[in-house]
């Protein structure tokens, strides 16, 4: 690093430290901020910027919020994030629907919110575009294990909020039986539970239709897509090998000439997703689970969410609740129709989805209160 760049870096860090020192409830560690926006800040909420270190030595930024002046230990909402390389930070003035939801959850009385940015995202070290799923999951597990170092978090009252890809692998975050026992509930938004191969076929069929292809054209394209994704995910061929044998399939590959990535992640990421058995993972869940699927979610199928609820309810009837949320997209967006959802043309954020979450968490808090029927059953 040149002297001029080093000087600028020191100036930036001092400016951030000065801002944090003047902002109640915000603390900093030695992981420098890359973000150009000020840290999160809320009235009556403490915001703690911290970090965890993965087994590979990468430090991942964490953001913890808790009610200011709270006494004793509080339940925590642990976020298992999405596939894309987007930060979990929710700066003031954000228009992002997930960020708005995080801001709402950060101000939920009697709960903490714990978020971790994956490798190479936000202030975290590493390169997101080259990080495989196993390494990303290891980062979430390191963050989950770090919950115990905060004396204000009740590690026997952990709720996992899984969003998109995280909505599928959420039950894999607790690694041991002891950690599994710490989880009191799951919330899933736009999750998945089938194999990734099935997911790719389903999303491609929806995508072709939303592109305006005729039913006949969709079927013809699906024949090619089936070959492409079967050869890659099942037969373990490389994309280069597949396209050499089937050059006519090149137009179906979303990334054009980039045969090493898909949706901004390395291909091994999806090969590892294909190796997962999420049906087995969700079949072991026996705690309250809220599963949300948007009416205009063209990314993940409604059937995945319904199957997830069915697997959990097979253990304890009534434990899981599935809701198809009117006008919601893949996660927290508000759309007027599928065409707008496909184009990403969202309407104003609808707070009803945030209320679904906050009402559910408040109900779990009530159920866990001493003397409640659910608490007695748990004991």
Q: How confident is the model at residue 370 (pLDDT cuts 50, 70, 90)?
A: low
User: pTM of this prediction?
Assistant: 0.89
Name the percent of the chain lying above pLDDT 90: 84
In degrees rounded to 5, what are phi and psi of residue 176? Answer: -110, 170
DSSP H/E element including 344: none
Distance (Å, whole) CA 63 – CA 256: 36
Give the model confidence (pLDDT) of 308-346 as tens digits.
999 999 999 999 999 999 999 999 999 999 999 999 999
The confidence score (pLDDT) of residue 194 equals: 98
Name the percent of the chain lying above pLDDT 70: 89
DSSP H/E element including 312: helix 302-315
The confidence score (pLDDT) of residue 27 equals: 57
Give the model confidence (pLDDT) of 174-232 as tens digits.
999 999 999 999 999 999 999 999 999 999 999 999 999 999 999 999 999 999 999 99
SS3 string of 239-288? HHHHHHHCHHHHHHCCCCCCCCEECCEEHHHHHHHHHCCHHHHHHCCCCC
The answer to whether residue 244 scores a pLDDT higher than 70 is yes
Nearest to 378, CA basis, from 156, 188, 176: 156
Of the ranges 21-25, 43-47, 283-287, 300-304, which one carries the lowest mean pLDDT score?
A: 21-25
Q: How many CA atoms lie within 13 A of 53 on its CB side?
A: 6
71 or 177, which is more confident: 177
Q: How confident is the model at residue 32 (pLDDT cuts 50, 70, 90)?
A: confident
The confidence score (pLDDT) of residue 368 equals: 78
The confidence score (pLDDT) of residue 21 equals: 34
SS3 string of 152-184? CEEEEEEEEEEECHHHHHHHHCCCCHHHHHHEE
The confidence score (pLDDT) of residue 37 equals: 80
| Rounded mean pLDDT, 9-38 | 51
The answer to whether residue 162 scores a pLDDT higher than 50 is yes
The confidence score (pLDDT) of residue 91 equals: 92
| Rounded mean pLDDT, 78-95 | 95
Which position has the token pair 């007695």? 376
How far lies 315's CA from each of 79, 140, 184, 364, in Å? 24, 26, 15, 19
The answer to whether residue 59 scores a pLDDT higher than 70 is yes
Please name the residues in contact with 14: beta carbons below 8 A apart, sequence gap of 6 or more: none
Residue pair 267/237 in contact (Cβ under 8 Å)? The answer is no
| Rounded mean pLDDT, 33-43 | 86
The confidence score (pLDDT) of residue 11 equals: 32
The confidence score (pLDDT) of residue 71 equals: 85
The confidence score (pLDDT) of residue 25 equals: 54
């Amino acid at each position: 690093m040149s002297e001029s760049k080093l000087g600028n870096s020191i100036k930036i860090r001092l400016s951030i430290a000065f801002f944090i020192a003047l902002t109640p409830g915000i603390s900093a560690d030695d992981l420098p901020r890359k973000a150009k926006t000020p840290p999160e800040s809320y009235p009556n909420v403490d915001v703690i910027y911290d970090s965890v270190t993965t087994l590979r030595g990468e430090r991942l930024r964490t953001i913890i919020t808790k009610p200011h002046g709270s006494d004793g230990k509080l339940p925590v909402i642990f976020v298992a994030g999405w596939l894309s390389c987007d930060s979990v930070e929710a700066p003031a003035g954000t228009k992002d629907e997930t960020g708005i939801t995080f801001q709402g959850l950060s101000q939920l009385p009697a709960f903490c919110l714990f978020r971790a940015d994956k490798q190479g995202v936000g202030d975290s070290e590493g390169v997101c575009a080259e990080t495989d799923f196993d390494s990303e999951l290891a980062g979430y597990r390191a963050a989950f294990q770090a919950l115990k170092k905060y004396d204000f978090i009740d590690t026997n009252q952990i709720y996992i909020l899984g969003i998109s890809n995280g909505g599928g692998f959420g039950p894999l975050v607790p690694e041991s039986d002891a950690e599994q026992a710490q989880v009191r509930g799951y919330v899933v938004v736009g999750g998945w539970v089938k194999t990734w191969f099935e997911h790719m076929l389903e999303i491609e069929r929806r995508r072709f239709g939303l592109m305006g292809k005729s039913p006949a054209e969709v079927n013809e394209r699906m024949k090619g897509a089936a070959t492409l994704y079967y050869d890659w995910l099942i037969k373990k061929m490389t994309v280069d090998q597949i396209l050499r044998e089937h050059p006519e399939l090149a137009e179906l590959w979303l990334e054009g000439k980039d045969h090493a990535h898909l949706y901004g992640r390395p291909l091994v990421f999806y090969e590892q997703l294909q190796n997962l058995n999420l049906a087995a993972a969700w079949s072991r869940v026996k705690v309250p689970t809220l599963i949300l699927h948007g009416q205009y979610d063209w990314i993940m199928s409604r059937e995945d969410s319904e199957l997830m609820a069915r697997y959990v309810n097979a253990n304890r009837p009534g434990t899981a609740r599935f809701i198809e949320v009117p006008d919601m997209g893949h996660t927290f967006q508000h759309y007027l129709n599928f065409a707008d959802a496909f184009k990403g043309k969202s309407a104003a954020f609808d707070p009803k989805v945030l209320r679904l979450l906050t009402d559910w968490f408040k109900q779990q808090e009530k159920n866990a209160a001493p003397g409640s029927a659910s608490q007695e059953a748990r004991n």
